[in-house]
C-alpha cells in the first residue's frame, strides 16, 4: 500500500512540472506588451543643435553681482580660474543654458509680471552661441509648492514654469564657488599636534605686546615627569598649558571659512584688517612643506562673526569667532597655571619654610621603596605622598598687577632639591589681600594664589608630623 502511494505522488509531481513548462513556453511565444510612448520634451531654450556651434558665453546677473561663464573643460569665469575649486555649478549652468526644459505654460501673456516675480527678476541669464544666436532668460519667484519657479524668455510675453533644481545655479555668486580654505591644514605630528618653531599672537587687542610661543624639545627629561616642549617666551616667560593653551594654537591651521566676502585688492580697511584686531603667525613648518603663514582677523561683530585674511592671498573671508579660540587669547589664557610639578622620585630633599618653622624632608629610594625622613624620624610614605600632592597643588589663580614689595619676607616657601644636581626650584608666597597671596617661582613675575592653600599646607604639616593621615588639597 505504501509503495503504491509513493508512485502516485511521483506521478502528480511530474504532471505538475510538465504543465508549468508548457505554460512558460507558451508565454515565451507571446510578444511583450508595448512600452508607452513618452511625451516629447518641450524646451524653453534649446541650443543643442550643431548649427549653433555650441555656447560662446553665459552672463549671469543676480542679487550677488554678475559674472560670465566661458565654455571649456571645465568651464571657467575669467579672472577667477585659480580661485574656483567647485566647477560643477559652472558645468551645470552651461548645460542648462544649452537646453532648459519647460514644465508647462502658466499664462500666454502676463498682464502683471510682478505677480510672478518677473518685473524685477531674481536672476537674468544672457546666453550667446558661437553662431551669433542668443537670448536672455529671466527667473522670477517660486511657484506654490516650491519645486518650480516662474520664468520667461526675452521677446516672449508668456510665463512658464521651470524646475527649481534646473535654475538653482543661477542664484549663486562667484564667491559661492571659491575655495573656503583660509589657512592650510598641517599634518599631525603623531601626538595630536603639529610642528612649528614659533607662533606669535598680536594685533591691537594685545596692548601688552605680542604673545610668543616657541617649540624647543626638552632633553634628558627624567622618567615620570611631564614633558613640555612648548614655552611662552613673551611678554613673560612661562610654560604653555598643554590642554587649553595648545588646543587654542591647534585651531590656527586648518581654518575653513563660512563664506568668502571679497577680494583683498590691496585695500583691507573696509574689513577692519588694515589695523587688525588680532593676528596669528606660524613659522618654521618647513618640514611639512610650508615656511609659515600669517593671519589677520577683525573684531567680532554683534553676531560673533569676524573677517579674516591670510597674508599674501587674494580673498577675505567671514568666519564665526567661536572657531578661533586664539582670537582673543592672551598669554595668561595660554599659560600653564600649575606652578611646578616635579616628580617625587627626582627629589632628594624638599623644604617647607615659614617665619615660624623651617622643616626639611629627605627622600631616598624610588616607587614602592621610597623612604621619607624628617626631624630624624621616618614618616609614613603614603601619608607623605598625599602631602606632597598638596605641595604640587599650588596654582596661579589670577593675574596680578601688584608687585612684591622690596625686602618683603615670604609667609611660606617650598624649596625642591633634585637628586641629579640640577638647580633647585623655590616657590615663594608673600602676604597680599586677606584672601590671596602673591606667588613667585624662582623670583619671577608674581601671580595670585588663594591664601587657603597656605593654611592647608601648614595645617597638614602638623598632622603629618603627628603621624596622622592627610588629604590632598586638590
Least confident of 40-44, 58-62, 91-95: 40-44
Given this model, what pLDDT does residue 11 score? 61
**Average pLDDT, stretch 288-298?**
85
Task: Say whether pLDDT at 23 is over 70.
Answer: no
What's the grid cell of residue 41? 520634451
Backbone angles phi, psi at 348, to 5 degrees: -90, -35
pLDDT range class, residue 347, cuts 50, 70, 90: very high
- Name the pTM for this structure: 0.77
Task: Say whether pLDDT at 366 is over 50.
Answer: yes
Cis peptide before 135 (omega within 30 of 0): no
- Greater model confidence, 421 or 219: 421
3-state secondary structure 241-274: CCCHHHHHHHCCCCCECCEEEEECCCCCHHHCCC
- Greater model confidence, 63 or 220: 63
CB 55 within 8 A of CB 130: yes
**Average pLDDT, stretch 103-124?**
95
**H-state helical runs in 335-401:** 381-391
Q: Is 384 exposed, middle or buried (0-12, 13-18, 19+ CB in 10 A)?
A: buried
**Average pLDDT, stretch 186-202?**
80
Task: Say whether pLDDT at 314 is over 70.
Answer: yes
Q: Give domain limits for the chain.
A: 43-176, 198-334, 344-465
Given this model, what pLDDT does residue 133 score? 94
pLDDT range class, residue 3, cuts 50, 70, 90: low
Task: Say whether pLDDT at 190 is over 70.
Answer: no
Task: Say whether pLDDT at 40 is over 70.
Answer: no
Average pLDDT value for the chain: 88
Given this model, what pLDDT does residue 235 score? 85
Given this model, what pLDDT does residue 27 score? 52
- The CATH architecture of the domain made up of 43-176 is Sandwich (2.60)
Given this model, what pLDDT does residue 38 score? 42
pLDDT range class, residue 197, cuts 50, 70, 90: confident
Order of all β-strands in the sheet with 148-153? 65-69, 55-62, 123-129, 134-142, 148-153, 159-163, 105-107
**Average pLDDT, stretch 88-116?**
94
Topology of the domain covering 344-465: Dna Ligase; domain 1 (3.30.1490)
Q: What is the distance between the alpha carbons of residues 148 and 165, in angstroms, rounded to a whole number?
A: 8
**Average pLDDT, stretch 437-448?**
93
pLDDT range class, residue 58, cuts 50, 70, 90: very high
Given this model, what pLDDT does residue 233 score? 86
What's the grid cell of residue 257? 571659512
Partners of residue 355 on adjacent β-strands:
none
**Average pLDDT, stretch 415-435?**
93
- Greater model confidence, 187 or 70: 70
pLDDT tens digits, 323-339: 999 999 998 899 988 89
Task: Say whether pLDDT at 236 is over 90.
Answer: no
Radius of gyration of the chain (CA): 39
pLDDT range class, residue 28, cuts 50, 70, 90: low
Nearest to 297 by CA among 367, 427, 201: 201
Given this model, what pLDDT does residue 1 score? 47
pLDDT range class, residue 167, cuts 50, 70, 90: very high
**Average pLDDT, stretch 382-395?**
94
Least confident of 212-226, 260-274, 410-424: 212-226
Given this model, what pLDDT does residue 288 score? 61
**H-state helical runs in 204-355:** 244-250, 331-334
Q: Long-range contact list for 444-453, CB < 8 A, 24+ apart?
A: 444/237, 445/236, 446/400, 446/402, 446/403, 446/404, 447/396, 447/397, 447/398, 447/399, 447/400, 448/396, 448/397, 448/398, 448/399, 448/400, 449/339, 449/394, 449/395, 449/396, 449/397, 450/397, 453/393, 453/394
Task: Say whether pLDDT at 130 is over 80.
Answer: yes
Amino acid at each position: 500500500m505504501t509503495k503504491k502511494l509513493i508512485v502516485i505522488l511521483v506521478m502528480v509531481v511530474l504532471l505538475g512540472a510538465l504543465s508549468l513548462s508548457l505554460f512558460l513556453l507558451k508565454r515565451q511565444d507571446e510578444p511583450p506588451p508595448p512600452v508607452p510612448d513618452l511625451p516629447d520634451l518641450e524646451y524653453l531654450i534649446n541650443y543643442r543643435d550643431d548649427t549653433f556651434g555650441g555656447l560662446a558665453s553665459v552672463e549671469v546677473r543676480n542679487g550677488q553681482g554678475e559674472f560670465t561663464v566661458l565654455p571649456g573643460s571645465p568651464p571657467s569665469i575669467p579672472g577667477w580660474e585659480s580661485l574656483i575649486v567647485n566647477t560643477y555649478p559652472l558645468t551645470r549652468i552651461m548645460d542648462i543654458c544649452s537646453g532648459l526644459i519647460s514644465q508647462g505654460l502658466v499664462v500666454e501673456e502676463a498682464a502683471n509680471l510682478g505677480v510672478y516675480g518677473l518685473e524685477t527678476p531674481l536672476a537674468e541669464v544672457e546666453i550667446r552661441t558661437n553662431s551669433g544666436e542668443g537670448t536672455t532668460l529671466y527667473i522670477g519667484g517660486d511657484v506654490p509648492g516650491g519645486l518650480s519657479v516662474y520664468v520667461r524668455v526675452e521677446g516672449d510675453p508668456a510665463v512658464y514654469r521651470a524646475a527649481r533644481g534646473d535654475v538653482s545655479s543661477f542664484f549663486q555668486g562667484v564667491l559661492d564657488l571659491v575655495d573656503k580654505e583660509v589657512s592650510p591644514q598641517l599634518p599631525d605630528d603623531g601626538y595630536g599636534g603639529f610642528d612649528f618653531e614659533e607662533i606669535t599672537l598680536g594685533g591691537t587687542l594685545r596692548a601688552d605686546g605680542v604673545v610668543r610661543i616657541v617649540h624647543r624639545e626638552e632633553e634628558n627629561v627624567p622618567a615620570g615627569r611631564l614633558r613640555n616642549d612648548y614655552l611662552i617666551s613673551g611678554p613673560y616667560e612661562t610654560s604653555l598649558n598643554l590642554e587649553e593653551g595648545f588646543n587654542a594654537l591647534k585651531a590656527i591651521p586648518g581654518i575653513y571659512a563660512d563664506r568668502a566676502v571679497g577680494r583683498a585688492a590691496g585695500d583691507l580697511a573696509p574689513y577692519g584688517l588694515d589695523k587688525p584686531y588680532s593676528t596669528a603667525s606660524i613659522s618654521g613648518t618647513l618640514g611639512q612643506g610650508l615656511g609659515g603663514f600669517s593671519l589677520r582677523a577683525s573684531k567680532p561683530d554683534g553676531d560673533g562673526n569676524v573677517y579674516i585674511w591670510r597674508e599674501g592671498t587674494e580673498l577675505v573671508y567671514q568666519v564665526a569667532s567661536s572657531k578661533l579660540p586664539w582670537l582673543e587669547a592672551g598669554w595668561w589664557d595660554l599659560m600653564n597655571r600649575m606652578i611646578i610639578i616635579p616628580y617625587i622620585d627626582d627629589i632628594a630633599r624638599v623644604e617647607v619654610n615659614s617665619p615660624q618653622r623651617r622643616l626639611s624632608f629627605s627622600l631616598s629610594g624610588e616607587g614602592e621603596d621610597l623612604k621619607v625622613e624628617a626631624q630624624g624620624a621616618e614618616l609614613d610614605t603614603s601619608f607623605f605622598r598625599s602631602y606632597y600632592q598638596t605641595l604640587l597643588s599650588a596654582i596661579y589663580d589670577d593675574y596680578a598687577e601688584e608687585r612684591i614689595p622690596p625686602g618683603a619676607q615670604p609667609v611660606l616657601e617650598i624649596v625642591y632639591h633634585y637628586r641629579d644636581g640640577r638647580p633647585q626650584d623655590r616657590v615663594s608666597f608673600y602676604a597680599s589681600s586677606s584672601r590671596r597671596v602673591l606667588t613667585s617661582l624662582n623670583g619671577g613675575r608674581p601671580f595670585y594664589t588663594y591664601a587657603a592653600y597656605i593654611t592647608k599646607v601648614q595645617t597638614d604639616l602638623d598632622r603629618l608630623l603627628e603621624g596622622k593621615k592627610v588629604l590632598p588639597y586638590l
